[in-house]
Amino acid sequence: MQLDTLFAQLHNLPNVPEVAQVLIQQFDDPNTSIETLSRTVARDPVIAAKVLRLANSARFRGARESTSIEDAALRLGFNTLRTLVLASAFASGFKAAPGFDLQAFWYNSFLVASLCKPLAKQAGLDQETAFTCGMLHDIGELLIQSGAPELAPSLAGRATASSHRAADETLQLGFGYPEVGAELARRWQLPQVLRDAIGYQARPLQAPEGNGYALIVAQAVAVAEVLQENVGDSKVQDLSGPLFASIDLEQLTAVLPNARDTAATFAQAA
């Protein structure tokens, strides 16, 4: 099957809501204020409700409840608000196929995203860009599962390790979830750096020169797979090979509890 054939037969191609598109542009504008963002958030009742709920959650709640979008936005801060808006925007377009655990999917996506930040810090790359790459790394799998349910059963229960899963899907379909995700990102007109990180995550050394985010995503996915096995955080320090040659694994292990907390918080909010 050709990639274009898959997109041609998708029952519903998810769209990014218009308000979310405006917000994404505002987040990229260095002159944007919290007040401007708050006014835009207030235009979308779904996003506004999620912002208020997160601001009043146990993790962010202050001495009093936030009852206005601006107050909630100030409490969350620019980066947290950006993450929540992006998560809400991308999650809203997908419907879970029968048997597909959407909550687990978003938890894993945010776990990878949360791991991307410290890895990006070690690599000297932008942490927020890395977080977004991680959050969207598996979006192609979600599109296959939700948009083409007739294909999903043939893939369910097969290889679970990301690299093996991508290879197995390529064998079965002619392409894997990284290529599907990169194509969806292109159709959503997301920045090239995100498309490359998604598309080359299973072969990061082939990513275009100067794009180190595919490597960071690959590293974060490998760490997340170890954590999902529940064998203990210390096992992360046993990771080896070229993929982790430049990573301080002891330093990374120290931030794993925070990564889990962040993943759980945003998975519930998305």
The alpha carbon torsion through 179, 185, 186, 190 (nearest 10 deg) reads: -140
Give the confidence band of 165 by pLDDT, cuts at 50, 70, 90: low
Q: What is the pLDDT of residues 124-160, one digit of tens each?
A: 999 989 999 999 999 888 887 776 666 655 554 444 5
Mean pLDDT, the chain, rounded, equals 84
Q: Quick check: 161 pLDDT over 60?
A: no
Which residue has 């690959």 as its token pair? 218
247 and 183 in one domain?
yes
In a domain, 6, yes or no: no
Q: Are residues 187 and 115 in the same domain?
A: yes
Residue 188 domain flag: yes
Determine, yes or no, domain membership for 184.
Answer: yes
pLDDT (mean) for 61-72: 87
| Same-domain pairing of 116 and 167 | yes
- Count structural domains, the chain: 2
Residues 41 and 118 in one domain: no
Mean pLDDT of 198-211: 89
Q: In terms of domains, do 110 and 211 share one?
A: yes
Same domain, residue pair 81 and 104? no
Last residue of a domain, one of 37, 71, 91: 91
Q: Is residue 8 part of a domain?
A: no
**String of DSSP letters for 107-135:** HHHHHHHHHHHHHHHHHTS-HHHHHHHHH
Give tens-digit pLDDT for 231-270: 788 899 999 988 998 899 999 999 999 999 999 988 888 7
Q: What is the pTM assigned to this prediction?
A: 0.85
Q: Is residue 162 part of a domain?
A: yes
pLDDT at 178 exceeding the cut of 50: yes
Residues 211 and 118 in one domain: yes
Asked whether residue 109 is domain-assigned, the answer is yes
- Give the model's pLDDT for residue 159: 42
Kindly state whether residue 24 falls inside one of the protein's structural domains.
Answer: yes
Same domain, 102 and 84: no
Last residue of one domain, picked from the residues 42, 58, 91 = 91
User: Do 196 and 156 fall within a single domain?
Assistant: yes
> Both 105 and 61 in a single domain?
no
Stretch 24-32: mean pLDDT, rounded? 86
**Which of 63, 91, 119 is a domain's end point?**
91
In this predicted structure, what is the pLDDT of residue 252?
95
Residue 64, domain extent? 18-91
Give 67-114 pLDDT, tens digit per residue: 999 999 999 998 889 888 888 877 777 776 777 788 889 999 999 999
Kindly state whether residues 232 and 114 are assigned to the same domain.
yes
pLDDT number for residue 131: 93
Do the domain assignments include residue 207?
yes
Is residue 137 within 8 Å of 217, Cβ to Cβ?
Answer: yes
* 262, 114 Cβ separation under 8 angstroms: yes
pLDDT at 19: 81
Say how many Å lie between the first and final Cα of the chain, rounded.
Answer: 32
Alpha-helical regions (H) of the chain:
3-9, 18-27, 34-41, 45-55, 69-76, 78-91, 102-123, 127-135, 139-147, 152-155, 162-173, 177-187, 192-199, 213-228, 249-254, 256-269
In this prediction, residue 193 carries a pLDDT of: 92
pLDDT number for residue 83: 87
62 and 181 fall within a common domain = no
Better-scored residue on pLDDT, 28 or 226: 226
Average pLDDT value for residue range 172-178? 70
